[in-house]
Amino acid sequence: MSKAPAKPSTNQSVATASREAFAAWIDEAPEGRVFGQVLIRRDGEGGYSLRHRDDAGVVELDVHEEPREAREISKLTERGEYRPLKSSPNLRRGWELRMKDAHGLAVAMNYLYPAAQVHWHLYREGRLEVTSYRENAARQSGIYKRIQRLSDEGVQNAARACCKDAVCLKKTLWDVDEETPLAMDRGDGEIPCPEPCSVFVSFARRVRLFEREDRRDLDEIGLSPSEKEDLAALVETASAGKVEYAREAEFEEPLNERRLRYRRLTLLPKLRPAKSPKD
């Protein structure tokens, strides 16, 4: 997978300006602000209190005073699974970060939502550079190079399955290419997404494999081998009363949430043509 080239917008002065703008944005909201799943409030002593937004009224929380402790908080879900995508709505609860100033706030936020504060600031200023799917795909190499051949329809369905608020709280700014916008609700969150991320690229690779199957391996009723595999896994686990999603970025697993969301878009229309989901 390629790495995004370093951009001048991530230099020290942008980081400082972002930190100051973000702190000012919090300061002017007496009730606090929600950023991703984090509620940020002034603490009355010149500092900032951060917690999960669903813990707004909770009194007994694990208190942390070191910004770097946000790293551990952001690492695992409530169920103890690794979080490969920090903007997924699966931040665990039960903690409070007490930061003594805007610098501590910025460090903590950068662990909770890497690069989000800078992107937020540049987006508000109209200076955030956006990279389309096709531009990103053109930079890929090795096993990810094949995402260059993903169809426009495949990109659209992959984005609906992978990027909507139910599975990622960022606002999707990028398009398929300059002429082809993403046809979906891009999200309501404060954190902009200027370019397909590594989780999306990995998912796009899986969707490209599905597309290839669709073109050559359909059975007499029009189902591909992986569609049948997913249906069988669903029936098997549901009948045993234990349906659980696979890990977030394990797209090779039939019960992966994003994979199932993709099936909803592409398999349900085959099974129930009269009741096709809109997105």
Which residue from 9, 132, 157, 172 is in contact with ligand SF4, where contact means CB under 6 A?
172
Taking each helix axis from N to C end, the angle separating 102-112 and 116-124, rounded to the nearest 10 degrees, works out to: 110
Nearer to ligand SF4 (CB atom), residue 98 or residue 186 = 186
Contact 182, 156 (CB under 8 A): yes
Binding mask 42-61 for ligand SF4 (x = CB under 6 A): --------------------
Binding segment for ligand SF4 (CB under 6 A), chosen from 32-40, 98-106, 163-171, 260-268, is 163-171
Neighbours of 43 (CB within 10 A): 12
Q: Contacts with ligand SF4: how many residues (CB under 6 A)?
A: 11
Task: Give, as ranges, the residues between 180 and 219 that touch ligand SF4 (CB under 6 A).
Answer: 193, 196-197, 199-200
Contact 175, 182 (CB under 8 A): yes
Phi, psi at residue 39, to the nearest 5°?
-95, 125
Alpha-carbon gap, residue 253 to 255, rounded angstroms: 6
Contact 82, 76 (CB under 8 A): yes
Phi, psi at residue 15, to the nearest 5°?
-60, -45
Please state the closest distance from residue 182 (CB atom) to ligand SF4, in A.
10
Instruction: For residue 176, give both structure tokens.
Output: 């398929």
Alpha-carbon gap, residue 157 to 268, rounded angstroms: 13
Please state the closest distance from residue 184 (CB atom) to ligand SF4, in A.
10
Nearer to ligand SF4 (CB atom), residue 132 or residue 224 = 132
Please state the closest distance from residue 199 (CB atom) to ligand SF4, in A.
5
Please state the closest distance from residue 162 (CB atom) to ligand SF4, in A.
5
Nearer to ligand SF4 (CB atom), residue 184 or residue 271 = 184
Instruction: For residue 231, give both structure tokens.
Output: 């249906």
User: Which residues, 6 or more positions from 148, have their beta carbon under 8 angstroms from its beta carbon?
Assistant: 134, 137, 138, 140
Alpha-carbon gap, residue 64 to 216, rounded angstroms: 55
Nearer to ligand SF4 (CB atom), residue 50 or residue 155 = 155
Nearer to ligand SF4 (CB atom), residue 64 or residue 171 = 171
Please state the closest distance from residue 200 (CB atom) to ligand SF4, in A.
4
Please state the closest distance from residue 196 (CB atom) to ligand SF4, in A.
5
Nearer to ligand SF4 (CB atom), residue 193 or residue 267 = 193
Contact 174, 195 (CB under 8 A): yes
For position 162 contacting ligand SF4 by CB under 6 A, the verdict is: yes
Binding mask 12-41 for ligand SF4 (x = CB under 6 A): ------------------------------
- Which residues is 41 bridged to in the sheet? 49
Contact 184, 159 (CB under 8 A): yes
Interface with ligand SF4 by CB under 6 A: which residues?
Answer: 87, 162-163, 168, 170, 172, 193, 196-197, 199-200
